[in-house]
């Protein structure tokens, strides 16, 4: 699509870390905040699409959104707090993960609707939570792990090991990656695009009227699915390759710039 074609956008979906929020400042740029207010003033729905849990969004609560896609699409929540959709990782995959970590050195976190637990606080785990400005979760009690209600897991292993691990240990799940340190794991087939479908149905919007912004591997399905997929200037190369448009980075008014480029603002 050229900048001369003005799309009829009715909903815009935003990743958080590295997209809405700068890794350098841990804040949302003023230009982005103004852009979101302008979108909503025009009647365009503004929806968060994140790998975070619904309970780790306090740092964006000062901005009004129209909904939240959390856990990479595993849980969709309205602004009023109503859960529209929720799906868990297969319990057998979680049990295999726990056993695998008993037999081989492996760090992981288990994310539930109301809590997050880890199996150990290694430097890599501590560093990851510091990177996204979150406290390190508590270490779980191995004798009291809820394997039935895990919405997402974070598996700390190298990318070259990921495919074999998923095939052998978590065959009913799928992995996406926005960091070289770990992979996000969700129920097979669940991505941020899953959440977009639910919100499109909820608001009566066609996918041809949607736009999305992202920077990591877990944003690829979303950017491909919406009519316009925008990669931030600070995005991973594999994200830029599939995007319809690459904007400036988060710290250089990237969101505002792209919205103006397409005539949405």
Q: What one-character DSSP code corresponds to residue 40?
A: H
The residue from 135, 152, 187 where one domain ends is: 187
Rounded to two decimals, the pTM is 0.92
Number of structural domains in the chain: 2
Residues of the chain with pLDDT under 70: 1-5
| Domain stops at, among 142, 171, 187 | 187
Residue 1: the pLDDT is 46
Give the single-character DSSP code of 4: T
pLDDT value of position 214: 98
Residue 141 is part of which domain span?
91-187
Q: Write down the pLDDT at residue 135.
A: 87
Question: CA of 55: how far to CAs of 51, 59, 65, 113, in Å?
Answer: 12, 10, 15, 8
Q: CATH no. for residue 106?
A: 3.30.1240.10
Q: Could you tell me if residue 169 is inside a domain?
A: yes
**Same-domain check for residues 97 and 31:** no
Q: What number of residues does the chain have?
A: 265
> Per-residue pLDDT tens for 145-178?
999 999 999 999 998 999 999 999 999 999 998 8
Same domain (yes/no): 183, 98 = yes
Q: Are residues 103 and 65 in the same domain?
A: no
Tens of pLDDT along 163-216? 999 999 999 999 998 888 899 999 999 999 999 999 999 999 999 999 999 999
Provide the pLDDT for residue 2: 45
Q: Is residue 1 part of a domain?
A: no
The verdict on residue 21 lying in a domain is yes
CATH number of the domain to which 42 belongs: 3.40.50.1000
Tell me whether residue 204 is exposed, middle or buried, using C-beta atoms within 10 angstroms of its C-beta: 0 to 12, 13 to 18, 19 or more.
exposed
Whether 5 is in a domain gets the answer no
Residue 6 lies in a domain: no
pLDDT reported for residue 78: 93
Let me know whether 167 and 43 are in one domain: no
Domain assignment of residue 162, yes or no = yes
Query: What pLDDT score was predicted for residue 5?
Result: 64
Note whether 73 and 195 are same-domain residues.
yes
Please identify, among 153, 187, 221, the residue that sits at the C-terminal boundary of a domain.
187
């Amino acid at each position: 699509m050229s900048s001369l074609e003005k799309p009829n956008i009715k909903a815009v979906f935003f990743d958080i870390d590295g997209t809405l929020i700068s890794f350098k400042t841990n804040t949302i740029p003023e230009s982005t905040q103004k852009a979101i207010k302008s979108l909503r003033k025009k009647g365009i729905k503004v929806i968060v699409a994140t790998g975070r849990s619904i309970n780790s969004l306090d740092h964006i609560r000062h901005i009004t959104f129209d909904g939240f896609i959390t856990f990479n699409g595993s849980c969709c929540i309205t602004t009023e707090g109503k859960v529209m959709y929720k799906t868990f990782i297969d319990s057998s995959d979680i049990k295999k993960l726990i056993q695998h970590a008993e037999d081989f050195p492996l760090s992981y976190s288990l994310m539930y609707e109301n809590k997050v637990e880890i199996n150990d606080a290694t430097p890599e785990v501590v560093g990851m939570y510091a990177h996204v400005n979150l406290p390190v979760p508590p270490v779980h009690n191995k004798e009291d792990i809820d394997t039935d209600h895990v919405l997402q897991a974070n598996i700390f292993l190298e990318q070259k090991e990921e495919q074999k691990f998923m095939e052998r240990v978590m065959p009913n799940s799928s992995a996406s990656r926005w960091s070289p340190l770990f992979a996000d794991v969700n129920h097979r087939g669940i991505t941020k695009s899953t959440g977009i479908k639910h919100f499109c149905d909820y608001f009566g919007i066609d996918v041809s009227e949607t736009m999305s912004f992202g920077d990591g591997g877990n944003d690829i399905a979303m950017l491909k699915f919406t009519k316009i997929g925008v990669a931030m200037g600070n995005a991973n190369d594999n994200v830029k390759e599939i995007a319809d448009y690459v904007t400036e980075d988060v710290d250089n008014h990237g969101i505002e710039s792209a919205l103006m480029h397409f005539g949405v603002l």
